[in-house]
Amino acid sequence: MACHTHSLGLTSRLLLTFFGLLLSASLLWAAPRVSEQGALKRPEFSGKDRTRPTISVTLHPRVGNLNQPTDAVFLNQKELLLLEKAGRVWWIDLDSGASRELLRLDLTSHSEQGLLGIALHPRFSENQTLFLNTSTTTSEGSFSFITEWKADRSTDPARLTRSRTVMQVAQPYSNHNAGGLAFGPDGYLYIGWGDGGAADDPLEQGQDPSTALGSLLRVDINRTDRGKGYAVPADNPFVGHSGFLPEVWAWGFRNPWRLSFGPQGELLVADVGQNEWEEVAWVLRGDNHGWNLREGRHCFRSKPGCTRSDLADPIFEYDHSEGRSITGGFVWTGPEAALSGKYVFGDFGSGRLWALDLPESPQGTAQASALGKWPIMPSTFVPHPSGSVWVADFRTGTLLEIVP
């Protein structure tokens, strides 16, 4: 979904409708179903992938009949929650094949708007709390919302109930809304925001750390500061610094489409490029990743200051001969030797998948192995409790298991 073009009153417009286990045949789309299809045909290895090491994998469809999936999260080995761009949250049981619509939000899903991200509270098993990232247009303008929800399994049907709005950010355009959410090992919520949209970052948000846009934020959702739905951790890098939003953890991003943490706490962010370069960054506290002075490691339109030594380099980049819109992934932590310890990700435009050997430090360069070019549009990657990584195909509405 990462496209290359790349207040209570407001959120009361998000209308909820809950359904039971069996959905009415009058619905526009049928319910998701557990797939019994065979594996996809073998991929091609072309272009620069011919010069890289290759890892043989197959893609096995596990859930089908989805409408533009944008994100998903496993609750356990067999149950998962899956988001559709237009605003629906599905519960799916891979064992029984049952699916249930837990939530339907009334959202605009023009361009890159819609229901974009989900994260479970670190103590989800105790408090049944999760967080959603939505982007929509209301009568008062376009906004992104981070909202908190409670999963109630004691009722039949089960449902999600909105608790509160954690954060609200005005969006000047309908693209580059990002949407990634991830809890770090420190228990804080990390939120990736794009530069606000249009081409070239016309509002110069990427290099403006006084705004949430173009930045990666870090907030404490277990406490609240006055007037906020969260608290700012005291050790955020720019707390007390004039000209900086205290929530900012790092900045200089164009459209970070997915962020995740590796097993050693590595914060890995995939940032969608514009003219030439897509990148994976290992993000440290206080980093400036350069947009719109730079695109990847390269000067963007010879902008003054693009060669500054204080700009953080990505650990991996690829040009638009290989793809046009990166989708970030996860480190494979399962026992399969071919992929174990590698960061698995892909490109939304070309369907190429790769696995990175992470460098020893954030200043290093990652080496990529090719997993092939597939007939899919990978919109999100999903870590399975076993340590493997699955991928969602936006085009066909399928969740696929990657099998070495």
pLDDT per residue as tens digits for the range 288-343: 999 999 999 999 988 999 999 999 999 999 999 999 999 999 999 999 999 999 99
- The average pLDDT across 212-230 equals 97
Least confident of 7-16, 67-76, 168-177, 325-334: 7-16
> For 146-183, how does the pLDDT look when each residue is reduced to its tens digit (9 = 90+)?
999 999 877 767 789 999 999 999 999 999 999 999 99
pLDDT at 399: 98
Ranges assigned E (strand) in 221-312: 248-251, 256-261, 267-271, 277-282, 294-295, 298-299
Q: Which whole-number Å values give the CA distances from 88 to 63, 81, 85, 99, 106, in the listed order?
A: 15, 10, 7, 12, 9
Q: How remote is the C-alpha of 227 from its chain's centroid?
A: 27
Q: Is the pLDDT of residue 26 over 50?
A: no
Q: Is the pLDDT of residue 265 over 90?
A: yes
Higher pLDDT, 15 or 137: 137
pLDDT at 321: 97
pTM tops 0.75: yes
> For 329-362, how does the pLDDT look when each residue is reduced to its tens digit (9 = 90+)?
999 999 999 999 999 999 999 999 999 999 999 9
pLDDT at 17: 30
- The average pLDDT across 82-110 equals 95
- The average pLDDT across 119-148 equals 97
Ordered by where they begin, the domains of the chain are 8-22+65-321 (2.120.10.30)
> For 225-246, how does the pLDDT look when each residue is reduced to its tens digit (9 = 90+)?
999 999 999 999 999 999 999 9
Long-range own/partner contacts, residues 268-271 (CB < 8 A, 24 or more apart)? 268/328, 268/331, 268/343, 269/180, 269/192, 269/216, 269/328, 270/2, 270/326, 270/327, 270/328, 270/329, 270/345, 271/314, 271/326
Q: Is the pLDDT of residue 9 over 60?
A: no
C-alpha torsion angle, residues 111, 108, 193, 260 (rounded to 10)? -90
Q: pLDDT tier at 21 (50, 70, 90 boundaries)?
A: very low
Q: Which two tokens stand for residue 246?
A: 């205290």
pLDDT at 2: 55
Neighbours of 11 (CB within 10 A): 18
pLDDT at 8: 30
Q: How far apart are CA 232 and CA 153, in angstroms?
A: 32
Q: pLDDT tier at 194 (50, 70, 90 boundaries)?
A: very high
Q: For the chain, what is the mean pLDDT?
A: 92
Decide if 133 contacts 168 (C-beta within 8 A).
no
Going by DSSP bridges, is the β-strand pair 248-251/277-282 parallel, antiparallel, or unpaired? unpaired
Q: Is the pLDDT of residue 16 over 90?
A: no
3-class secondary structure per residue, 24-83: CCCCCCCCCEECCCCCCCCCECCHHHHHCCECCCEEEEEEECCCCEEEEEECCCCEEEEE
Q: Is the pLDDT of residue 373 over 90?
A: yes
